[in-house]
Amino acid sequence: MRNKKIKSITYALFAAVFYAINMPLSKLLLEKISPVFMASLLYFGAGIGVGVIYLVRSSKHKNTEEKLSKPDLPYVIGMIILDIAAPILLMIGLKTAASSSASLLNNFEIAATSVIALLIFREVISKRLWAALLLITLSSVLLSFDDISSFTLSYGSIFILAATVCWGFENNFTKKISGKNTYQIVVIKGIFSGIGSLIVAFAIKESIPDFKYIALALILGFLAYGLSIFFYVKAQHEFGAAKTSAFYAIAPFVGALLSFIILHEALTEYYILALFLMIAGSALVVADTLISNHTHMHIHTFTHTHDGDTHTHFMSHSHTHKHIIEEERHDHSHKDDDKNHVHSD
């Protein structure tokens, strides 16, 4: 159990790091590629890249994961529609918002994912996670204003927050199918979301970029979307939608750091305050993830007869049953996982 959780944490961290390169590098490419075309190319890169890996791997190893089926169709369709909308909104917002602020604003996806998981999909939200969501939301509000003293909204930030809400829904839809073939999920996400965005790009008459920029966007899509989604889905299968977002929360901080290094963006006093709030909120989410909910059954053995007299000792008519008397739910850290929690009387 411990090894499985460590592997899932590793998947989530890989997903975060790969996604972190998206903001600063997309910001650079948006100078040469229009937003909707950019969203399309990123997803095509994800679908094509992971698809090639799947074909190569399938020729050598048999994939034992269950394939998607008809009951999964509503979640797949919802996933694709949201994956078309979210990156378009993100690219539009990234056109005007600072890459560093956009990176931190992406952490609002944690809040959106968790609240949707609670209200619609009935995942449990702890007090720690609620406190984290409050801090993350407050940080996102600070980052959404160009001038907090005059309450001047950054319209780019509004588009980015809208994208995170779309991804919040999409994360919960993907959780419903996360136990199925991961390669198949990523390829379907990439190809169909790419086609949808491409149709929108042609519909609004965006210009086709030069081939060299198309190639660069496809490579970025494979790394920042394809590999990120692949590891994210792997982690989701173990942790659930809300919990996986905990470790994914490091992505905005890595992205913000890369923005300072690559784009030389300046730090404002509101950004520093928002950064500390976001770090505190993310730390609470990680702490919450390291606590596991376990259900323990207290099993008691009684000897009784079936003639109505319990706890008798007439051996000729007696036998033994195990009766589950009660359930006890509590939280503890993973260090307790190795203990035996079944008690017999």
Neighbours of 13 (CB within 10 A): 16
Share above pLDDT 90 across residues of the chain, in percent, rounded to a whole number: 30
8-state DSSP, 224 = I
pLDDT of amino acid 138 = 80
- The tokens for 226 are 């394809």
pLDDT of amino acid 149 = 56
pLDDT of amino acid 136 = 78
pLDDT of amino acid 308 = 47
Share above pLDDT 70 across residues of the chain, in percent, rounded to a whole number: 76
Helix (H, G, I), strand (E, B) or coil at 86: helix
Closest by Cα among 174, 195, 201, 255 to 47: 195
pLDDT of amino acid 344 = 40
Instruction: Tell me the whole-structure pTM to 2 decimals.
Output: 0.69
Q: Per residue in 234-280, pLDDT tens?
A: 887 766 666 676 666 677 777 777 888 888 877 677 778 878 887 88
Q: Where along the chain do its domains lie?
A: 2-289, 293-336
**DSSP structure string for 271-315:** HHHHHHHHHHHHHHHHHHHTEEEEEEEEEEEEEE-SSS-BT---T
298 strand-pairing partners: 326, 343
Q: Per residue in 147-164, pLDDT tens?
A: 555 455 678 888 989 999
- The tokens for 49 are 């890249």
Contacts of residue 161, defined as CB under 8 A and 6 or more positions apart, other chains included, come to 105, 108, 140, 144
Burial of 41 (0-12, 13-18, 19+ CB in 10 A): buried
